[in-house]
Every structure is written in structure tokens, then in C-alpha cells.
């Protein structure tokens, strides 16, 4: 007896901004069944907005802050509800997200079907991490029929992009299927001298071993080579520079090369009762053999414009192993046969080797920059770190559906975490070696969903996560882990035959046991800091009429230090997350009539003021609102074209403010992109 037909979770080909099902909770679930806030960037949203990078994809998600690490370089850091996202899942396997100098370009959007964003602590399936949330990238899979698609784009500042995607059966009976995706990005920038080149190839095979068992295996390889810019300095009093947005104040010899390779396999067995057993494995390697750059390291003199550069050279190598296996099965209890039990285990091992050295500094003038500064030759790679982290976990969740349209969800996780780190800093003659171990840490989860009607549900949840710390107390003991916990309640709905999703949520998150200076022993720390993030969010995604898609969202986020030093308690916990943010994108495809074939689209992004304190000096930007417009034409069922104008009113703004010495980034000026798409 074969298993029942499985409902597809993939968004590709639906033509909608509304996700039918998501897999960020292991088994396939509708958004209404999850007692937390989840946003989905579908394949149609990625294509309609010409999104090619993870940065741009995350900018479409309400309440997400994207902090660039460079202009024209690798992707930056993402913040959810005021906290950095430290884990990016790929098909449910945890990978470390980029932070600080560990920027990665290895997430080209050409090979993904959708992006799932879970807000709030994700400890049940993630293990250790920050409480802001988690991102899950879902790869494209082979199709049962032949299909070929291509995309060609050209835009401002010599930006070019090409993509080809082919899929279909590889055997006469259709039991073996394959897919191959290739892409190449060659881009200049609004900043002088900046460029990037990013080739990508992704291949995947899928084989039905039996009517109930499918084996999937694949690999991807991505490269990055370019000359990024690392921002601008500011004036000592906190004023931001008012110089041309094209200004490049870094050395002309800046360059980065990076290679990302990933192998993965999945074995899925569908049970006769509608459940499943799934085993996932992945190996990801990121190699950055050459990273040489200089950046601003001094405040700019308001009168003369003089500043300075400091040069660095980095080499890094990451290896990430991931395993995950679970069984999800329905069972009968409390008068219902629609209950579900999920039990699983996962493993992650991350090895990071990072070496760096500093070279000579050089002067630079913000009004008349000379980028041809001498290239240092005296780098020493005696500084760096070797960091190895392993995590094991056992997790379980039960979804109970008693009569009356109620869903009770309860779960927990046991985590074993081990880290060994060696750090060297020859400049200050410093060496340290630490070994931190956490055994059997329990993380609970609880949620409830009430169906108020056939279209609307109310929910509430309690979630938790922990984050290991490295600081020590006066007795030389490593501080106990931070604990992030969240209370959330809201409404979720789906209308128009599930083609339109909406949600509204209110949340309060607390992050306790944070390391802070020991008042009695200032050279040591105590786990007494406590932060709070709270707010309100609302979002609507989907098809509101024939040919008309809409994605709109609003987020209000307030952060505060509850326990800390007097200076900390007088400030916001984080200055990165704006208090208010608003996102809108809509596109209408005209039907039969005089305008048949044409489409119109447009969007708005708005954030309230953001600022950062550096000592007693405040650096601020905002509020900022930018607009986009798009016109398209579908020539026939195989070919269409769009012309998109971003930042229509050419708003001049900084998308990141940091400090007087540097790392302040202008947002993109007005720009255009012409895209042709073919489907065969």
C-alpha cells in the first residue's frame, strides 16, 4: 500500500505571495497552525522584485533590519526584534550566519524556492543562539515535467545578471529527476571603483527508491571576487558626511576572493498513515584565501577633510557539518485522529580558522581622496583564532487537536554544546584558550491556537532559547548561559481560498543573565544583565484579486535595558532596530482588454530614526522613506519584461550609521533595472 499523496510545500509556480505551507517547524504546517510569527518570501516575490541576494530578500520582510558590512561586498547582518540572527537554516539544517568579519556571499537566491522567517526564540529546533529568530532557506527541487527558464538583467552602474534553470525527468518512468541552476552576476556600484563578480552553480538529483521513499542529493558552488567599499568616516561631533555618494575613500588595491561549496542529501520515507521519516545531512565549506583591504579609521576633520586609513589582511576557512533526523506521525487521542507527534535529533559541528594581520596606515582626504596609497607588504598572520563548536540535540513536539477547533502545541529540547577556542593577538602579546561545555540544557516550548472562524485564528505562545557566554567571574568560572524567553499572542487569517494570508502579533521578549561588569571586581563579569524587546507587528501577503498580489507589513519595536550599569539603563538596548518600520510591494497584471499583457508594480519602505551612541556622541539617520515603481509587459506565455526604478525620488540617506572613525554607509541612489524572463 502506497502512502497518500503529499501536498506540495513549494511556492514556485503558484504565482502568489501567500505561502500555503512552511517547513521551518520540520513537518509541513500552514501559517495558522504555528503559534509564532512567521513570514515567507515566496518565489513569486523574489522574481517580481528582481531579488538576487539574501540582503535584498530580507529587506522585504517587515521588522527585519539589514546592516550592511560593505558596499558591493558580501551579505551583512540581519536583526529580528532587535537581535542579530546568528543561524541561517538551509532545508532545516543549521548553519552559522555571518557576523562581524565572517561575511559570506554564499546564499545566491537563484537556487532557493522561498525564505521562511521565524520571529522570536527558535530554541526547539535550533538549540543555542540569540532570541531574535531564525531564517530557513528552502532549496528548489526537481520537477516531474520538463521546464526551462532564463533571466537576463541589466541596470545602472553596469549591473548585469544572467540565470538559467532547467529541470525534468531523467528516466523514462519519471522515477529519477534532476535540476540544474546556473547564475552569473557582474556588477559595478554607485560607489566609484567598486565591483563584484559572483558565479553560481547548483545541481540536484531526486530518485524514488520505492513508491514511499525518495532520495535527494545535490551540491552547490558559489564564488565571489570583488573590490568592496567599507563605508565612510564622520565628523567628531556626530555629523555625517555630506559628500558625493559615489565617494570611495578606501585603497584601490582592496580585494576579496571567496569560495563556498555545499553538499547535501535527504532521505524521506512517507508513512501509510500520513506521517514521514526524514534524514538530512549537509557539509558546507567556506574558503576566503585572500582578503586585503583598508578602511577609514579616523574621524574626518571638518575644516581640512583629513582622515586616515588602516589596512588589514584576512584569511579564513569554515567547515560546517550538519545532521538532522526526525519522525513525524499522526495519532489518535482526545477524540481526534489529527494529533501529531514529532521526535528527532540533530548534530552540528563548526570549525572556523581565522588569521589576520595589520599593515601600515595612510592619510586620506574626504574631499580629494587619493586611493593610490602604497600597498603594505609587512603583514603578519600571527593573529587569529581557531574555533571548534559541536552541538547535539534531542527534540520533541506534540500537536493535540481536541474538539472545538483548538490546537495545543507542546515541546522541548535537550542540548549538549561544546566549544574549544584558541585566540592569538601578537600586537598586544595576548593568548587565550577556552573550553566551554554545556550538558543537557532543557529548552521548553508551548503554544495554543484557537479557530475563531473558518478563516481566522487566535494564538498565544511561550518560547525560549539559550546562548553560551565566554566571560568569567571573579572565581574564574565561565558565566552561565544567557536565556532568552518570549511571550507572544496574535491573530492569523487566510482568505480567498487560502490565497491571502494576514497576521497581527504583540510580543514581549526578555534576555537575562547577560554578562556585565562586576561592580565589586571591575576586571570580571557577573551574569546579571537583563534586556527587553517588545512590540507589535502586522502583515498581509497574497493575491487580493485576479492578477493582483500584495505584500504589506508594519513593525513597532521597543528595546530597553532592565538590569545593567547606570549608563546602560539610561539607553536603549539596541540602536539598530528602528522604532517603526513599514514595507509595501504590490503588482497588478492586467487581464483581457486594452492593457492586456501590461503589469504595474510599486513599493514603499519606511523606517523611523535610527541612531548609535559611540561614547557620548550620537550618530543618527532618519526617518527615511524610499519608493520603487515597475512597469512590465508579457509578450506571450514564454516571454515577459519589466523595467524597475528603485529610490524613485533619489532620497539621500545613510542605511547604516556607526562611528566617527568609519563604517557609515550611504543608501543606493535612484537606479533602474531592465529584466527579461523566458519560460519554456
DSSP letters, 142-201, are --SS-EEEEEEEEETTTEEEEEEEEEEESSTTS-EEEEEEEEEEEE--SSTT-EEEEEEE
* Structure confidence at residue 100 as a pLDDT band (50, 70, 90): very low
Query: With 0-12 CB in 10 A as exposed, 13-18 as middle and 19+ as buried, what is 363?
Result: exposed
Query: How many Å apart are CA 311 and CA 316, to the nearest integer?
Result: 17
Question: Across the chain, which distance is largest between two alpha carbons, in Å?
Answer: 82
pLDDT digits (tens, 9 = 90+) for 20-49: 899 998 989 999 999 999 999 999 999 999
Question: Do residues 571 and 616 lie in contact, with contact meaning Cβ atoms separated by under 8 Å?
Answer: no
The yes-or-no verdict on residue 520 having pLDDT over 90 is no
Give a three-class secondary structure readout of 499-531.
CEEEEEEEEEEEEEEEEEECCCCCCCEEEEEEE
The pLDDT value given to residue 455: 94
Q: For residue 59, give the C-alpha cell.
A: 529587506
Comparing C-alpha atoms, which of 542, 501, 575 is closest to residue 65? 575
The pLDDT value given to residue 573: 53
CA distances from 330 to 36, 245, 396, 399, 404 (A): 22, 58, 14, 9, 18
Question: Do residues 204 and 141 lie in contact, with contact meaning Cβ atoms separated by under 8 Å?
Answer: yes
Query: How many Å apart are CA 529 and CA 162, to the nearest integer?
Result: 49
For residues 425-433, give the mean pLDDT. 73
Q: For residue 279, give the C-alpha cell.
A: 534524514
Query: How many Å apart are CA 496 and CA 577, to the nearest integer?
Result: 34
The yes-or-no verdict on residue 574 having pLDDT over 60 is no
- Chain-centroid distance of CA 1 in Å reads 41
Average the pLDDT over each of 165-169, 263-267, 290-294 and give the range with the smallest value.
290-294
Comparing C-alpha atoms, which of 261, 66, 371 is closest to residue 57? 66
Q: For residue 413, give the C-alpha cell.
A: 529540547
- Across 244-258, 566-580, 631-645, which has the greatest mean pLDDT? 631-645
Question: Do residues 667 and 655 lie in contact, with contact meaning Cβ atoms separated by under 8 Å?
Answer: yes
The CB-side HSE value for 63 (13 A sphere, CA atoms) comes to 32
The SS3 call for residue 357 is: strand
The yes-or-no verdict on residue 102 having pLDDT over 70 is no
Higher pLDDT among residues 171 and 612, named by residue:
171
- Chain-centroid distance of CA 405 in Å reads 34
Between strands 306-333 and 336-358, the pairing is antiparallel
Query: In whole numbers, what is the pLDDT of the chain averaged over residues?
Result: 90
Between strands 336-358 and 362-365, the pairing is unpaired
Query: How many Å apart are CA 634 and CA 658, to the nearest integer?
Result: 44
Query: How many Å apart are CA 675 and CA 680, to the nearest integer?
Result: 17
Query: How many Å apart are CA 197 and CA 195, to the nearest integer?
Result: 7
Between strands 87-90 and 133-139, the pairing is parallel
- Across 2-11, 433-442, 606-615, which has the greatest mean pLDDT? 433-442
The yes-or-no verdict on residue 428 having pLDDT over 70 is no
> What does residue 609 show for φ and ψ, rounded to 5 degrees?
-60, 135
Query: How many Å apart are CA 199 and CA 162, to the nearest integer?
Result: 10
* Structure confidence at residue 670 as a pLDDT band (50, 70, 90): very high
Question: Do residues 77 and 83 lie in contact, with contact meaning Cβ atoms separated by under 8 Å?
Answer: no
Write down the CATH number for the domain with range 31-679.
2.40.170.20
The yes-or-no verdict on residue 572 having pLDDT over 60 is no
**CA geometry: angle at 265 spanning 262 and 268, to 5°?**
150
- Domain locations along the chain: 31-679
The yes-or-no verdict on residue 664 having pLDDT over 60 is yes
pLDDT digits (tens, 9 = 90+) for 457-480: 999 999 999 999 888 777 777 888
The side-by-side arrangement of strands in the sheet containing 77-80 is 64-67, 77-80, 83-84
Got the DSSP string for 557-626?
A: EEEEEEES-HHHHTS-S-SSS-SEEEEEEEEEE--SSTTTTEEEEEEEEEE--EEEEETTEEEEE--EEE
Comparing C-alpha atoms, which of 199, 114, 189 is closest to residue 162? 199
Comparing C-alpha atoms, which of 79, 85, 80 is closest to residue 467? 85
pLDDT digits (tens, 9 = 90+) for 112-134: 999 999 999 999 999 999 999 99
- Chain-centroid distance of CA 581 in Å reads 17
Question: Do residues 507 and 500 lie in contact, with contact meaning Cβ atoms separated by under 8 Å?
Answer: no
For the chain, first and last CA: distance in Å?
36
The helix (H) or strand (E) run that includes residue 13 is none
Query: How many Å apart are CA 53 and CA 607, to the nearest integer?
Result: 21
Amino acid at each position: 500500500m502506497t502512502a497518500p499523496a503529499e501536498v506540495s510545500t513549494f511556492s514556485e509556480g503558484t504565482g502568489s505571495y501567500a505561502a500555503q505551507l512552511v517547513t521551518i517547524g520540520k513537518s509541513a504546517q500552514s501559517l495558522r497552525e504555528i503559534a509564532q510569527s512567521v513570514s515567507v518570501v515566496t518565489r513569486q516575490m523574489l522574481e517580481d522584485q528582481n531579488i538576487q541576494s539574501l540582503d535584498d530578500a530580507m529587506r522585504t520582510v517587515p521588522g527585519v533590519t539589514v546592516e550592511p558590512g560593505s558596499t558591493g561586498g558580501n551579505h551583512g547582518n540581519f536583526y529580528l526584534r532587535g537581535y542579530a540572527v546568528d543561524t541561517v537554516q538551509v532545508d532545516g539544517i543549521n548553519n552559522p550566519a555571518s557576523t562581524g568579519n565572517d561575511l559570506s556571499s554564499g546564499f545566491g537566491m537563484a537556487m532557493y524556492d522561498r525564505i521562511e522567517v521565524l520571529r522570536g526564540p527558535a530554541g526547539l529546533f535550533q538549540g543555542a543562539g540569540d532570541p531574535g529568530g531564525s531564517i530557513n532557506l528552502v532549496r528548489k527541487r526537481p520537477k516531474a515535467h520538463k521546464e526551462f527558464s532564463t533571466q537576463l538583467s541589466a541596470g545602472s552602474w553596469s549591473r548585469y545578471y544572467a540565470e538559467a534553470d532547467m529541470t525534468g525527468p531523467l528516466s523514462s518512468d519519471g522515477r529519477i529527476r534532476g535540476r540544474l541552476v546556473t547564475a552569473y552576476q557582474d556588477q559595478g556600484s554607485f560607489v566609484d571603483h567598486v565591483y563584484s563578480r559572483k558565479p553560481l552553480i547548483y545541481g540536484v538529483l531526486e530518485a524514488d527508491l520505492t513508491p514511499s521513499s525518495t532520495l535527494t542529493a545535490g551540491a552547490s558552488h558559489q564564488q565571489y571576487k570583488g573590490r568592496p567599499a567599507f563605508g565612510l568616516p564622520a565628523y567628531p561631533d556626530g555629523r555625517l558626511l555630506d559628500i558625493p555618494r559615489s565617494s570611495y575613500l578606501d585603497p584601490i588595491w582592496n580585494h576579496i576572493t571567496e569560495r563556498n561549496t555545499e553538499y547535501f542529501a535527504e532521505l524521506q520515507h512517507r508513512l501509510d498513515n500520513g506521517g514521514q521519516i526524514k534524514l538530512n545531512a549537509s557539509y558546507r565549506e567556506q574558503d576566503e584565501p585572500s582578503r586585503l583591504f583598508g578602511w577609514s579609521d579616523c574621524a574626518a576633520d571638518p575644516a581640512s577633510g583629513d582622515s586616515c586609513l588602516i589596512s588589514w589582511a584576512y584569511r579564513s576557512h569554515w567547515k560546517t557539518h550538519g545532521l538532522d533526523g526526525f519522525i513525524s506521525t499522526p495519532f489518535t487521542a482526545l477524540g481526534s485522529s489529527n494529533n501529531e507527534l514529532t521526535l528527532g535529533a540533530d548534530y552540528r559541528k563548526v570549525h572556523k580558522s581565522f588569521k589576520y594581520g595589520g599593515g601600515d596606515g595612510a592619510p586620506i582626504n574626504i574631499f580629494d581622496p587619493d586611493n593610490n596609497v602604497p600597498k603594505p607588504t609587512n603583514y603578519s598572520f600571527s593573529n587569529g583564532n581557531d574555533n571548534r563548536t559541536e552541538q547535539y540535540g534531542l527534540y520533541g513536539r506534540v500537536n493535540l487537536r481536541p474538539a472545538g477547533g483548538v490546537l495545543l502545541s507542546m515541546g522541548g529540547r535537550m542540548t549538549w554544546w561544546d566549544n574549544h577556542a584558541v585566540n592569538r593577538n601578537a600586537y598586544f602579546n595576548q593568548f587565550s584558550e577556552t573550553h566551554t561545555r554545556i550538558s543537557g540544557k532543557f529548552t521548553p516550548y508551548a503554544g495554543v491556537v484557537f479557530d475563531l472562524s473558518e478563516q481566522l485564528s487566535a494564538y498565544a505562545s511561550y518560547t525560549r532559547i539559550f546562548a553560551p557566554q565566554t566571560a568569567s567571574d571573579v572565581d574564574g568560572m565561565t558565566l552561565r548561559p544567557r536565556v532568552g524567553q518570549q511571550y507572544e499572542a496574535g491573530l492569523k487569517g487566510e482568505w480567498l481560498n487560502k490565497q491571502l494570508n494576514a497576521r497581527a502579533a504583540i510580543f514581549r521578549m526578555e534576555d537575562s543573565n547577560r554578562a556585565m561588569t562586576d561592580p565589586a571586581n571591575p576586571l570580571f563579569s557577573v551574569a546579571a544583565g537583563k534586556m527587553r524587546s517588545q512590540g507589535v507587528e502586522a502583515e498581509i501577503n497574497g493575491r487580493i484579486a485576479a492578477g493582483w498580489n500584495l505584500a504589506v507589513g508594519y513593525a513597532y519595536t521597543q528595546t530597553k535595558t532592565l538590569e545593567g550599569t547606570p549608563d546602560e539603563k539610561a539607553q536603549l538596548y539596541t540602536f539598530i532596530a528602528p522604532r517603526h518600520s513599514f514595507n509595501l510591494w504590490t503588482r497588478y497584471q492586467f487581464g483581457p482588454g486594452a492593457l492586456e499583457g501590461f503589469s504595474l508594480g510599486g513599493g514603499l519602505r519606511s523606517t523611523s530614526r535610527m541612531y548609535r551612541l559611540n561614547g557620548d556622541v550620537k550618530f543618527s539617520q532618519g526617518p527615511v522613506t524610499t519608493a520603487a515603481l515597475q512597469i512590465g509587459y508579457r509578450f506571450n506565455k514564454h516571454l515577459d519584461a519589466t523595467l524597475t526604478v528603485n529610490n524613485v525620488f533619489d532620497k539621500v540617506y545613510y542605511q547604516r550609521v556607526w562611528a566617527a572613525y568609519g563604517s557609515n554607509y550611504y543608501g543606493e541612489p535612484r537606479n533602474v533595472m531592465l529584466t527579461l524572463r523566458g519560460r519554456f
